[in-house]
Structure 1
Amino acid sequence: MKVLDEKNFPYRHECVIYEKASHYLAVPPECMRVNGKSEEALQKTLAKFMTMEAEYPAECRRARQESWDKLVAFFREW
């Protein structure tokens, strides 16, 4: 971010850090229900290979939703 600011990067930019989130961010809610399975079923699958999903499922869910909302809002600005 510092480099972008120093170089007067002309577009809006922001750094968002989710302390308790997995790599599965910015996913639309409807994609959490895959092949007729519930969101809970997918979360259990994610928890098997993503430590953060296993340890912090609620926080990961919130981060996923917030990051999706931020992404959609960003594209709507364009």
Structure 2
Amino acid sequence: MRSCYNNAIVSAPEDTYIKIENINGPILFLSADNDDMWPAKEASEWMMERLNKKQFPYQHKHYNYKYASHFLIPYKLRTVKIFAIERKYPEECMESNMKSLEDTLIFLNEW
């Protein structure tokens, strides 16, 4: 699936982009190095660059987790076993999931 998204992102004309810079409020991006479903890290970095370039006036942060898969939630779903990172590093992935919750709560509290 990830390669489909990569190809679509590279070939998409700019007028088809969602204008995230028009959002009226803070934005939080969470991503994982090992997200096999879509290029979350790269997309989040690209959107952060876009927000910075457009001088987005609201708080915007990106947290990336080395040991995590597509699901960044503090609950272990049975379906996570389809992801190699979850099978190889289950404890580290759960730590990342818990950290993502903590980071989200801190972000919301700052807002």
What range is the shorter-chain TM-score in? 0.5 to 0.7
| Gap regions ≥5 residues in structure 1 | 33-41
Separation (CA, whole Å) in 1 of partners of 2:49 and 2:80? 35
Check if 1:48 corresponds to 2:95.
no
Distance 1:8 1:51 in 2: 38
TM-score by length of 1: 0.66
**In structure 2, what is the Cα distance between the partners aligned to 1:46 and 1:63?**
17
Secondary structure, counterpart of 1:16 in structure 2? strand
Q: Determine which structure has greater relative contact order: mean sequence separation of CA pairs < 8 Å that are 6+ residues apart, divided by chain length.
A: 1
CA separation in 1, counterparts of 2:92 and 2:84?
12
1:1-78 mapped onto 2 (5 Å cutoff): 1-25=48-72, 27-28=73-74, 32=75, 42=76, 45-78=78-111
Contact 2:65/2:96 (8 A) holds in 1: yes
Once the 2 structures are TM-superposed, how far is the Cα of residue 46 of structure 1 from its aligned partner?
4.0
Q: Answer 1 or 2: which has greater strand percent.
A: 2
Runs of 4+ in 1 over 6 A off after TM superposition: none
Larger helix share, 1 or 2: 1
Distance 1:47 1:4, change over 3 A: closer
Across the aligned residues of Structure 1 and Structure 2, the Cα RMSD in angstroms comes to 1.9
